[in-house]
Amino acid sequence: METTLIILKPDAVQRSLSGRIISRFEDKGLQIVGLKLMQISQQLAATHYEAHQSKPFYAGLVRFMTSSPVVVLAVRGNGAIGIARNMMGATFGSKANPGTIRGDFGVSNSFNLIHGSDSPEAAERELKLFFQPGEVLNWNRASETWVYDMSGGKPE
């Protein structure tokens, strides 16, 4: 099972889309194992986006991500990183397919509603930035055997 970081960005929170977006992950069968509303500090945004520091959009991105509260989630499931990224859709809402989060809720080429870790290594790093020890929980869902075929001993 993979655990990935999802951030519902300031535009998603300001547009009151958080519940609808979270429901999509749960409807898909992914498990929410961490969730909080928070204001990202300048330092946290700078650390999170340090790989983009030399790019022209960096300052605007940090300003945007610190402009309003965000919702951060730890989402778990078999192949959760790839599933979540497919659900998010193309980076720009104007280019994202209908049926994806960005395709259904976004039109902007600047505001793109959601962030999701792009690899297991990124997920591990990012989850540690946004969640303290003990804030990402391990718990058994009663519906787990109805989400995954467990007859072979592992989730399929």
Return the pLDDT at 154: 84
Strand partners, 32: 75
Give the N- to C-terminal CA distance of the chain in Å, as an integer: 11
In the residue annotation, 115 being an active-site residue is answered as yes
pLDDT recorded at residue 150: 83
pLDDT computed for residue 151 by the predictor? 86
From the candidates 48, 76, 102, 115, which is the catalytic residue?
A: 115
- The model's pTM is 0.94
Domains of the chain are 2-132 (3.30.70.141)
**pLDDT tens digits, one per residue of 102-139:** 999 999 988 999 999 999 999 999 999 999 999 999 99
Q: What single string gives the DSSP state of each residue in 16-84?
A: T-HHHHHHHHHHHTPEEEEEEEEPPPHHHHHHHTGGGTTSTTHHHHHHHHTSS-EEEEEEEETTHHHHH
According to the model, what pLDDT value does residue 106 have? 94
Phi, then psi, of 17 in degrees rounded to 5? -100, -5
- pLDDT score of 19: 98
Give residue 17's pLDDT.
Answer: 98
**Ranges in the chain, pLDDT < 70:** none
